[in-house]
Amino acid sequence: MAGALSNVRVLDLSRVLAGPWATQTLADLGADVIKVERPGCGDDTRAWGPPYLKGENGLPTTESAYFLSTNRNKRSVAIDISLPDGQDIIRQLAANADILVENFKVGGLAQYGLSYEDVKKINPRIIYCSITGFGQDGPYASRAGYDFLIQGMGGLMSVTGDPNGDPQKVGVALTDVLTGLYTTVAALAALAHRERSGEGQHIDVALLDVEVACLANQAMNYLVGGTPPQRLGNMHPNIVPYQSFPTSNGDMILAIGNDGQFRRFCEVAGRPEWAEDERFRNNTKRVQHRDELVALIREVTSRLTTKEWVAALEKVGVPCGPINDIADVFDDPQVRHRGLHVQMKHPTAGVTPSVASPLRMTATPVEYRRAPPLLGEHSSEVLQDWLKMDDDTVNRLLREGVVSAG
């Protein structure tokens, strides 16, 4: 069954995470994504290990888990864009593409004649997505941007972690992931616009812009209330009780979002009087008296195991759950039922694990067509497929080192 974007061609000039996350999402939706990499080393993340995928002989390959996480359903072409012939191949590929995604520094591709203005001349319908740390303009435009840096500069670390400890980044490069998703959204919107107008466009996506936009209620808490939010650990700034609590054998999440849920929790906890207490009778009051209520709840929750609490609270519709490590996640019955761990055929390892796309579509479901590619695995194939080059031309480019094959 053809994917929703099976008619779309994507030229991926990005590396590391934000750009590849966007192009993997497009590839999962059926787009033909050509990943252009540097001969010899390829995407930086190929070497970001251990761990590395194990081959059929049980020994580590050169494919890092990091690279595998964000490059499935793509074809790899290794092209030296420092050479004029390499630049010409990129221009030819761009002339045949619907979307181009790149994350070079601002102006970085202009030296190769591959800026948006350059590519637009040969393909005015191109949707050209530029991902940078700080955007195409402004006082920081020339700076390199990394997820960790942006989590700090963008305010996320100021609201993450123990209030009495050091500032903490999120345990996943979340700004990169969110930037990839916003890039995908923008590219799809641009495709819809092009369908009506025939026009392509340049999309400028910045990690800092995305991070600030994704501060969500915390940003609005400041803009409306005038006070910068502070770190609260696992507590929620606007809802109580909504945090982790100790149990007799660990911890659990209690995520009470309304007064009805609080009342039911109090009944299960054997403290129905809390729901009638003037200090706790509604969420506004509970936020005001957070410290008093949290201390009371902590004393009660520590009497039962996590499993006992979850079983009792689920029966009455009170949101709660364990704090799983990642091994627990993939062993969870719901995760197993939803098929979030998939296996894909790999050219050297036999199979490689992957985390399933969360997109479930009835008419055009995601398909796992290709394992993350070896460096230059599809160089000859793509040059013949997209550019209709004959064998002699492809072999010449391989001999001259303009292109390399896996």
Number of Cα atoms under 13 Å in the Cβ half of residue 295: 4
* Amino acid present at 30: G
217: tokens are 């209620």
27: tokens are 């590839």
Parallel, antiparallel, or unpaired for β 250-255 and 320-322?
Answer: antiparallel
CB 119 within 8 A of CB 126: yes
Helix (H, G, I), strand (E, B) or coil at 344: strand
Rounded to 5°, angle at Cα 191 from 189 and 192? 65
CB 64 within 8 A of CB 51: yes
**176 is a catalytic site residue:** yes
CB 384 within 8 A of CB 398: no
Bridge partners of 243, per DSSP, are 254
Cα dist from 395 to 40, 94, 352, 392, whole Å: 18, 21, 31, 5
Which among 218, 216, 189, 242 is positioned nearest to 26, based on CA atoms?
189
Select which of 80, 147, 176, 209 is catalytic.
Answer: 176
Which among 87, 95, 105 is positioned nearest to 36, based on CA atoms?
87
Parallel, antiparallel, or unpaired for β 201-206 and 242-247?
Answer: unpaired
Helix (H, G, I), strand (E, B) or coil at 235: coil
302: tokens are 């520590």
Helices (H), 69-130: 84-95, 116-122
CB 173 within 8 A of CB 207: no
C-alpha–C-alpha distance, residues 282 and 262, integer Å: 9
Enumerate the active-site residues: 176
